[in-house]
Structure 1
Amino acid sequence: MTRVFVVGNAVSDVTLNVRRAPRPGESILAQSIARAPGGKGLNQAVAAQRSGAKVVLVSAIGGDAAGIEIENALLREAFDDLRLIRLSCDTDVSILTVTADGENSIITTIGCTQASSAERLTASLSDVQAGDYVLMQGNLSLASTNAVADLARARSAKVVINAAPWHWDSTEALEKCDGVIANEGEILDIAKGVDVKDSAAWLQAKGPAWVIVTLGAEGCLLSTHEGASNFAARPVKASDTSGAGDVFSGVLVGSLARGASLDDAIQAGQRAAALTVERTGTFSAIPSVEEMQDIVR
């Protein structure tokens, strides 16, 4: 079976539930706190694996207690292979604030993730084959992302990047992709544009076969060489939008690896993300293996 190699971060999530986001310079009180494994790479790998894909996760963790907790959680998942790069630094951390209406903001450290060299990452991908998928996010350095993308392309594997968080000053890595997933703010930053449809078309024309822009409650936009099309979102009452983009990306790429069409993969990703936002938490909100069986029908 085609495999999905997820190369990305694994972090310790600390979620603070608040009534509203703080104003600049303001201190507010959190209503609760929760800790769990997280990180865009980890979340997307778990979502893809639970959706039925054969997944290999390549990620760096520290030698601290947080790293051990993350490893123990990942060992309970049915990955095809778990390739953790253990470093002497502290495991990365994400601080999430979630407001009463489900909106979130996230700050993530990248020291541990980016301490893993391009050479170590590509060495972990020595068995990538033609037809496999390599899924990355924006947490790696641009040099590492380019190195992984170059290796995958040389092996005739397909490359997909979820361009979050967007912090590179070049679209070089995105131009090497078969597919790019970004949200509304990210695609406008990438293209330095003011219109989502035009920005997606601009990026797609630079190399990717397809660009998907997630639009929250408005669904998503797909841009290909044939033009743009919209996919409506399922109406939901959002409790917490944290991780919705990760679940969407992981299930979408997992579905493609299992042979689904792009349209069907998008719809499966949307169904999984809709279920996710109806729950609180991030890792705990990812649909289970049993739930995924209905989602990826």
Structure 2
Amino acid sequence: MAKIMSHARSISLPTSSHPLFASAEEHLQRLESSKGASSSSPHASACKKLDGLKNLYEYLDDVLQLPLSQKVLSHEICGKWDEEVLDGSLRLLDICGAVREIYSQMREIVQTLESSLRRKRGGDYLVNEIGSYLVSKKQLNKMICKCYKELKRAEKKCEKRKDSDRDPLVKLIKEVQETSFSILDSTLSFISQSKAAGSQQRSWSLVSKFIQQKGSSYEGDSDIEKIDVELHLLNNKKSNKASYLLETQNPLKRLEAFETSIQELAEVLEIMFRLLLKTRVSLLNILNH
């Protein structure tokens, strides 16, 4: 036993003391400490976290390319790291792919409604187009709820496996995965309604609050909820063609801003998906070496 433990130390310690390993750990800690930090907007916060995660995976990839790292991970002393780490990497790929798809579909839904509002046609046409948007978004909310459930399962699994870490490198990979799930959760929340949302009662509650506050910014509601409020109000106005352009100007601007935010996050999600795939391939190559 003493011989095995001595051999384990000779393999793991050089890796954990390597400058690249130290940089990865430092970036991870910085990302962890910034989770609860306030930001100028939910979009800015989501972008910052996702961009930080992208940088973290670039550091992790450098660490995994080290010969010492590959030696540690391929050594039998690491036990069942392959089951836990590879399971985590696969879950991350699936969830990141799902979040990416949700963003893509939301952007299409928003673009369709923008196009309808620009046609400058009110009456039944407007009612039908807004109705189609709300129906499409309701279907997308089912995907979001399913993704949230998968995220919660993955996060619970991360909690359960914490005590099984035997090597600093394996521990680092697991902590990176745990942070990844948390940030993907945060990224998904930007595009979803609040936890209390999902019912007609919630929608009308927001409309009522908007009217009471006489069109103020009703801080505390997500961007997508603010859009819903304005669409509900617009949908219930008997607009003529002369007033239509003025009444749709604000919701159209908000939709355009929301689409820009979605696009920015979607681009980083695409990069993240590729980095997660690259990391999984690296881990499989090490395991099969």
Superposition TM-score, scaled by structure 1 size: 0.26
Larger radius of gyration: 2
Bigger relative CO (Cα 8 Å, ≥ 6 apart)? 2
Superposition TM-score, scaled by structure 2 size: 0.26
